[in-house]
Structure 1
Amino acid sequence: MTMASIKDPHVVDSFRVAMEEVYSRLLVQTSGEISEAAVDLGLSHRRSMKSAADTCSKKCEDDKLFETIQTNKQDLAKKTLLMKEKRDAISRSLVEMEQKQGQKDALRLQMETLREEQAERRGLVVSQNRANKDRLKNLLKAKQVFQERLGLEIRRIHGQKLQFVFQNVNPASPENVYTFTMGINADGSYQIMSSDPMLESLGDLDKRLKQTNNISAFLANIRKEFVAQACFSTGS
């Protein structure tokens, strides 16, 4: 393009129009590119924000889940400890109940044993009283016989002890008295304590009385021993 052409108004207008068109196209292109870049940047920003939000949300959920797990663990530990304490308390209660039951059983057994012993003692007392009554009856019968025929007197001395007094034993001295003392044991048996004068055969007579339980025969035999001793003394 020559200087003359440049000075031509039509050429200048054409050039200006062309330049405006180029500028417009560049402006449109640049605006489009800027818009696209802005859109891409916005999308990228939104994706980044969403990713960050998701990450934060996941982290919050993880933290909450971890906190929940820890809380559940603590609750489970407390419940486990509480259950253990309850089991221990129940075990102690069972042991105490067993001990008390054992004590009750032992006490019941002791009471049963005591009742049985009391029943046995009552039975023994009844039997002994019956036996003593029988022996007393025999003694009274023997007393009547010997008192009438042989001058026997029976005296009660020192509780359960009886003193038997014989008269008319020694024909040379009928006023002399010959005595022996007899008791009744807990089992109802007779027990010869002593005699006056002392008889050497008293032990044998006592043994025979325990074997036969015949008081009349014993009284007759001991009087014979007194008579024999009196005759021996008189003869000497």
Structure 2
Amino acid sequence: MASIKDSNVCELFSKSMEETHNKLVVTTSGEITEACLELYHSSKQILKSAFDTCSKKFKDDEKMFETVQAYRRELEHMAVSVKQKQDSISETLSDIKQKEERKNDLSQKIQRLGEEQARKKKLMESQKKVNKEKLKNLNRAKEVFQEHLGLEIRKIRGEKLQFIFRNINPAEDYASTFIMGIQADGIYQILSSDPPIECLPALEKRLQETNNFSAFLANVRKEFVCQARCL
């Protein structure tokens, strides 16, 4: 007990405690510092790894965004191209439709022309047959009247025929004549007579009705004879 109360002992104890404390502090501070450094390096490594990961993700996302934008632009371009092709197809279909309509119109016109041509050909053949028959009648009448009544028939300009009756009046030597044409449809047309016959239109109408040319010539000659007797 006496040694504890010794001031030197207390001083030594206090000094020893302080040294111990300082050693503990130095030791602890060193350990804490090392731990903090390790934590710092570890955190720095984690942050760097996270940054690299985020940077890579950002670049990947940015590349993805550019790819999406490129696809979008390509889709827009394709949409425009499709629209143009659709318009072109519509124009082509419209043009084909118009050509088909024109083709149908031409086909119908050709058919109508063919039918009209066939009708005209049939009419011409029929008319030719009629004219042939009329010419035959004319020749028959010509032979009869030439032989017995001194009739002369001359072809004059414009495809017309001049009928010349002689021996109308035995006392006088002159001829009575009339000019006749045949229309495109085969109708007889009396153009003039010398001397004029008042009833010639009626005789012409009767000829159209009966087609009896011999009787017509006989009636015309009879009218010429009547006029000659009245002179």
Q: What TM-score range do you get, normalising by the shorter chain?
A: 0.7 to 0.9
Asked if 1:224 corresponds to 2:222, the answer is yes
Percent identity, please.
42
- Provide the rounded CA distance (Å) in 2 between the counterparts of 1:194 and 1:209: 16
The equivalent of 1:162 in structure 2 is: 161
User: Distance in 1 between the 2:120 and 2:70 partners?
Assistant: 73
Once the 2 structures are TM-superposed, how far is the Cα of residue 31 of structure 1 from its aligned partner? 2.5
Separation (CA, whole Å) in 1 of partners of 2:195 and 2:49: 137
Unaligned 5+ runs, structure 1: none
1:73 alignment partner in structure 2: 72
Q: Cα offset for 1:231?
A: 0.9
Deviations 1:25-67 (A, max 9, x none): 4343222212221232223223322333343233323322322
| Root mean square deviation of aligned Cα | 2.6
Counterparts of 1:109 and 1:164, CA distance in 2? 49
Q: Does 1:116 align with 2:115?
A: yes
Counting only pairs closer than 5 Å after superposition, residues 27-38 of structure 1 correspond to structure 2 as 27-38=26-37
The residue that corresponds to 2:100 in the other structure is 101
2:208 aligned to which of 182, 189, 210: 210
Describe the superposition over 1:77-130 as per-residue Cα deviations: whole angstroms up to 9, x where unpaired: 100111111111111212222222222222233322222222222222222221
Query: Match of 2:185, SS?
Result: coil
**Secondary structure of the residue that 1:126 maps to in structure 2?**
helix
> Which residue does 1:141 correspond to in 2?
140
Structure 2 spans left out of the alignment, 5+ residues: 1-5
Q: Give how far 1:219 is off.
A: 0.7
Greater Cα offset, 50-59 or 92-101: 50-59
Q: Secondary structure at the match of 1:125?
A: helix
1:190 and 2:199 matched: no
Please give the secondary structure, in 2, of the residue aligned with 1:227. Answer: helix
**CA–CA distance in 1 between the matches of 2:21 and 2:166?**
183
Residue identity matched to 2:142: K
Distance of 2:226 and 2:60 partners within structure 1: 128
Q: Please report how far the alpha carbon of residue 177 of structure 1 lies from its aligned counterpart in structure 2 after TM superposition.
A: 0.8
Matched residue, 2:3: none
**Letter of the structure 2 residue corresponding to residue 183 of structure 1:** G
For residue 21 of structure 1, report the CA deviation from its aligned partner: 5.3
Match of 1:89 in 2: 88
Question: Offset at 1:24?
Answer: 4.5
Query: Offset at 1:22?
Result: 4.8
Higher mean C-alpha deviation, range 49-58 or range 20-29: 20-29
Aligned residue identity for 2:30: S
After the TM superposition, which residues 52-67 of structure 1 pair with which residues of structure 2 at under 5 Å, given as runs?
52-67=51-66
Q: TM-score, normalised by structure 1?
A: 0.84
What is the rounded CA distance, in whole Å, between the counterparts of 1:79 and 1:115 in structure 2? 52
Deviates more, 1:96-105 or 1:84-93: 96-105
In structure 1, what is the Cα distance between the partners aligned to 2:34 and 2:212?
150
Q: Distance in 1 between matches of 2:104 and 2:19?
A: 122
Alpha-carbon distance, 1:228 to partner: 0.9
Give the ranges of 4+ consecutive aligned residues of structure 1 lying more than 4 Å apart after TM superposition: 18-24
The 3-state SS of whatever aligns with 2:202 is: helix
State the TM-score, normalized to the length of structure 2.
Answer: 0.86
Deviation at 1:159, TM superposition (A): 4.2
